[in-house]
Structure 1
Amino acid sequence: MKDEYLRKQARWLSQGQIDRRQFIKSAIAAGIAVPSALTLATNVLAATPKKGGKLRLGTSYGSTTDTLDAGTSENGLTQAIIYARGNQLTEINNDGTLIPELAESFEPSNGAKTWVFNLRQGVEFHNGKTMTADDVIATFNYHRDENSKSAAKGLLVGIEDIKKDGDNRIIFELDGGNADFPFIVSDYHIMIMPSVDGKIDDPNSPIGTGGYIIETFEPGVRTIGKRNPNYFKEGRAHFDEVEFITLSDTTARQNAVMNGDVDFIDNVDAKTVALLGRVPTVQIFETTGTQHYTFPMRVNAAPFDNYDLRMALKYAIKRQELVDKILLGHGKAGNDVPVNESMPFFNTELPVHEFDADKAAFHYKKSGHSGTLQLSSSDAAFPGAMDAVQLIAASAREAGIEVEIVREPSDGYWSNVWNKKPWSACYWGGRPTQDWMYTSAYTAETEWNDTAWKEGAAADRFNELVVMARSETDEAKRKDQYWEAQKLLQDDGGAIVGMWANFIHAHSKSLVHDEKVAANWQSDGNKIAERWWFA
């Protein structure tokens, strides 16, 4: 009875129906000691979202080549900006579940080949325009266009037709059943944009439906947004202003949060976590999700078009050493598939690609290659990337393989190096389902297939399996299809998935968040601007 009474009082305090003094008096009257009552009041108020303040978010991401076109977003900063200024039809919530966002509800029919999305009514863009079905259709068609350079193009190839039923109802017709389609439309690239005469007039416009209105956009430097007073979400977007600051240098980023120059930073170096955690004003914030660090080999470029050379390199890497020395235990070894135990239908019977100098040397000799192999990297790839490639070069040397490290500029790395150079360092935030991960980075149609693994018997069969599994309703058959797909990818594909890395952040203790925190991306699903607040 007492607990129920205190919960009610706490609810009233958090809602502003009573003040702190009244709550403390009520708690004492219920038999709570004065010190405990004071602590309880403080905790309740700290957990109650408050409006106000300016959030300064220091991020390792950002480049002078960045744009506001959501379709071409290619790093964590532009993703966070998208989430701050715009919305998608659905959203991965901070508890990891899929919920409606600009859609109010959605339901399948015809074996999940038809999906109907009912839109929220009264949602406004920052320019005052009311969002309608026309805007949604125009946005999806922008990404689907045959000349589109959008990273979401490959995700949407299964859409045969999109039509509206009134201003607030969208009907998607797919070429096959897809039970994961509502996850796909939550992709950050597919931010709903305002249309003009049924088309997207300017994909680089800052206008969206999100919690913050972009006022300053300086690529590779800073982006500033002011709170949207007409935001449709209750209890979200608490800050008066948010500022995203690019701090590519790890030391500069960590000094900034220690000195109070920023309130939050991502990608804390595992080597300095303990030191940073001793700063009285700083809180370490770590989550475990689907982030993985990779070294993609483009199979359309010699010498990586040779199966045995790729296999030699897969056996030439000491993966646990990478976890121990680069992540300092904040993660685990990878096995050349972008899938882990957190995903449904993970293949537990895959062979383990551990370091084996004899196997590496065997495959390398069989490849017929001689001379050095160039591996491009930069601190922009992931924290510790330059140290990681040095370890790879050292272990490969033990197998008689010479690797030359090419240090690339951090600025422009994602535009000029990744997805272009034959072998490079990379990171992936991961996706919550296998289909989404594959269609983002491994199927033949996607712009982001950074291994260019698109042709050949193994790749053809992999693509076929992805389509089959997407619409398969028999769980046993779907498992077999995904297990075979993982085996093909691990064996023949060009991805070296070296390690799974925890997201490590640091923030001012004045920042507060919900008890549950998303791990689908760094920085609470890259939605700190919307979900956190100042105590």
Structure 2
Amino acid sequence: MTDKITNWNRNDDAMVEDAIRRGATRRELLHMMLAGGVALSAGGLVLGRASNAVAATPTKGGHLKAAGWSASTADTLDPAKASLSTDYVRCCALYNRLTFLNKDGITQMELAESIKTADAKVWTVKLRSGVTFHDGKTLSSADVVFSLKRHLDPDVGSKVNSIAKQITGIKAVDPLTVEITLANPNADLPTILAMHHFMIVQDGTTDFSKGIGTGAFKVETFQPGVKSVFVKNPDYFKAGGANIDSFEYFAISDDTARVNALLSGDVHLAASITPRSMKLVESQPGFVLSQTTSGNYTDLNIRLDMEPGSKADFVQGMKYLINREQIKKSVLRGLAEVANDQPISAANIYHNAELKAKAYDPEKAKFHFEKSGLLGQSIPIVASDAATASVDMATLVQQAGSEIGMKFDIQRVPSDGYWSNYWLKAPVHFGNINPRPTADILFSLLYASDAPWNESHYKSEKFDKMLVEARGSLDEAQRKAIYGEMQVMVAEEAGTVIPVYISNVDAISGKLKGLEANPLGGQMGYAFAEYVWLEA
């Protein structure tokens, strides 16, 4: 076998790959290899290698159709105002960012050739040369300055205005160089610029309906709340450009209808399906599921500044009463990863994997409830369908409590008005947090003493000082150590119980290839159209 297979070379591999693409049968392929000097016993190895290569090699051409779940007549092609998943998908197709996050959560350059700093406060951005907009205009520093300044203009209504406010200076140094100055050092700036809203638009743009960007696609049709059709940009600056020739994107809000559209062949991708629909897809041949766990979670919030959360043992008792595995398996049907009561998921490079989640232990919970003096009392828990799976989670807590003499009164309230009337206000209630690209954003938003969404009213001077220290440090090892300790502090001291990180599942046709997980969310961080391909 060895003598025969050594006569086979990579050019012959390419011949087999080409035959597979043309639809050759397994029998025909084995005959071809035998004629080329490959023993029958080795043919399977060669065939497997060639098949894997074909599967990983993008096929060019075709029209892709995909269905999201959210749409509105307020749909926009203005990245600063994007708020729905359909907005993000369109903007990712039409524009580019200075940086982007790859599947491993690592920040890489996109329109920027480099982003450098000596002090994490003043940053120099060097742009790629030769990049053009859809109308032929060449990308320059003026476009970047205009795009970033829009987020600071209150009249624009940027969704990331609060994040952009740390930028105190933006100026063009030369046609391909921009200098960005921050109010205080922040080593995360390159990652922040990878957020969907920080897409680069053309200098002076006021009409965004045409979607003039530097992206892999151009607008053919844009009907807000209805559908969008895009065609491949033949002058895209990335080698090879998009794989598909065109794609259509629209929303089907009903989960069952969205899945039926996939199964009937009307679409190649049905985004963000429920566990119930997942079983239906799995039962049908020719369809697969793409799972992304990027840090979305529903948490139980116990305010530390009021009863019963002001009693530390009550909070500890609740953390032992949460059956994380049951929530993962029963409530979310396996579409989750067990979490450890802090917001930095495994999708983030600063995740503290050594911090273990508290095991379900009713006896320990009872000990702490007795110590708090609350065992036997009725404690209200506010839940709503507005916070994903919170009603089911509350029911599990109630059942577990009843077995040890702890009473919980589930107060199920309507979704309408939940976030304004109950979230952050009720003594014990649920929240639902979407993924954020940096540890600093999550901690600043949710756990700093002055955090706008401090769900449990956690306050720690030590934590606040560590947050500032980590934010300004350019030493990655130091940042990882600080963020690791901060995660332990949140898990042990804050009044938030984060049982699992919830997965997003996109259902796709077996013909759709190249879809990968991304820490910015499902549908490949909403940027799938540029990277996927349709099998011939």
Shorter chain as denominator, the TM-score bin is 0.7 to 0.9
Residue in structure 2 matched with residue 279 of structure 1 by the alignment: 284
Q: Residue 298 of structure 2 is aligned with which of 279, 294, 298?
A: 294
Give the corresponding residue for 1:234.
239
Q: Is this contact kept in 1: 2:384–2:390, CA < 8 A?
A: no
Distance, in Å, in 2 between the alignment partners of 1:64 and 1:413 is: 24
The aligned length equals 516
Cα deviation digits, residues 182-204 of structure 1 (max 9, x gap): 222111111112221xxx63577
Structure 2: how far apart are the matches of 1:245 and 1:180? 34
Amino acid in the other structure paired with 1:328: R
Distance 1:209 1:312 in 2: 54
Secondary structure of 1:408's match?
coil
CA distance in 2, matches of 1:186, 1:257: 31
Q: Per-residue CA shift, 1:485-531, capped at 9, x if unaligned?
A: 324434565644231234433211111217x6545522223222110
2-structure distance, mates of 1:115, 1:218: 39
Partner of 1:101: 110
Q: Secondary structure at the match of 1:506?
A: strand
Change (3 A) 1:457 1:352: same
Alignment of 1:307-456 (within 5 A): 317-341=322-346, 343-344=349-350, 346=352, 348-349=354-355, 352=358, 354=360, 356=362, 358=366, 361=369, 372-378=380-386, 382=388, 387-388=392-393, 390-391=395-396, 399-408=406-415, 423-431=429-437, 433-439=438-444, 449-451=452-454
Partner of 1:166: 174
Letter in 1 for 2:261: A
2:531 maps to 1:534: no
1:229-281: CA deviation from partner (whole Å, max 9, x where unpaired):
33222223222222223233332222222221211123343355455223222
Question: CA RMSD, aligned part only?
Answer: 4.5
Q: Secondary structure at the match of 2:281?
A: helix
Structure 1 residues 183, 388: closer, same or farther in 2, change over 3 A? same
SS state at 1:179 partner: coil
Q: Specify whether residues 472 and 260 from structure 1 end up closer, same or farther in structure 2 by C-alpha distance, changes over 3 A only.
A: same
Q: Once the 2 structures are TM-superposed, how far is the Cα of residue 19 of structure 1 from its aligned partner? A: 9.0
SS class of match (1:160): strand
Per-residue deviation at 1:482? 2.1
Residue 502 of structure 2 corresponds to residue 505 of structure 1 = no
Whether the aligned pair in 2 keeps the contact of 1:331 and 1:501 (CA below 8 Å) is yes
1:165 partner SS:
strand
Greater CA deviation, 89-98 or 342-351?
342-351
2:174 match: secondary structure:
coil
* CA spacing shift, 1:221–1:481, aligned 2, 3 Å: same
Q: Find the partner of 1:256 among 261, 267, 288.
A: 261
Q: CA–CA distance in 2 between the matches of 1:168 and 1:445? A: 38
Query: For the structure 1 residues 249 and 385, does the alpha-carbon distance in structure 2 shift closer, same or farther, using more than 3 Å as the test?
Result: farther
Deviates further, 467-476 or 1-10:
1-10
Q: Cα offset for 1:373?
A: 4.3
Q: Which residue of 2 aligns with 1:182?
A: 190
Is the CA contact 1:216–1:223 (under 8 Å) kept in the aligned structure 2? yes
Determine if contact 1:154/1:445 at 8 Å carries over to the other structure.
no
Which of 124, 140, 147 does residue 148 from structure 2 map onto?
140
Please, which runs of 5 or more residues in structure 2 have no aligned partner?
Answer: none
TM-score (norm 1): 0.78
Contact 1:67 1:219 in 2 (8 A): yes
Per the alignment, do residues 333 and 48 of structure 1 end up closer, same or farther by CA in structure 2, a change over 3 Å counting?
closer
Q: TM-score if structure 2 supplies the norm length?
A: 0.78
Change (3 A) 1:38 1:408: same
Give the distance between the partners of 1:487 and 1:95, measured in 2 at CA: 23
Cα distance in 2 for residues equivalent to 1:72 and 1:418: 27
Change (3 A) 1:107 1:371: closer
- The answer as to whether partners of 1:13 and 1:44 remain within 8 angstroms in 2 is no
Report if aligned partners of 1:319, 1:355 keep a CA contact under 8 Å in 2: no
8 A contact 1:122–1:130 mirrored in 2: yes
* Preserved contact between residue 297 and residue 451 of structure 1 (Cα < 8 Å): no
Does the Cα contact within 8 Å between 2:342 and 2:487 map onto a contact in 1?
yes
- Tell me, in whole angstroms, the C-alpha distance in 1 between the residues paired with 2:351 and 2:113: 30
Measure, in 2, the Cα distance between the counterparts of 1:150 and 1:15: 49
Give, in whole Å, the separation in 2 of the partners of 1:310 and 1:205: 53
Identity among equivalent pairs (%): 27
Check 1:99–1:263 CA distance in 2 against 1; reply closer, same or farther (3 A cut).
same
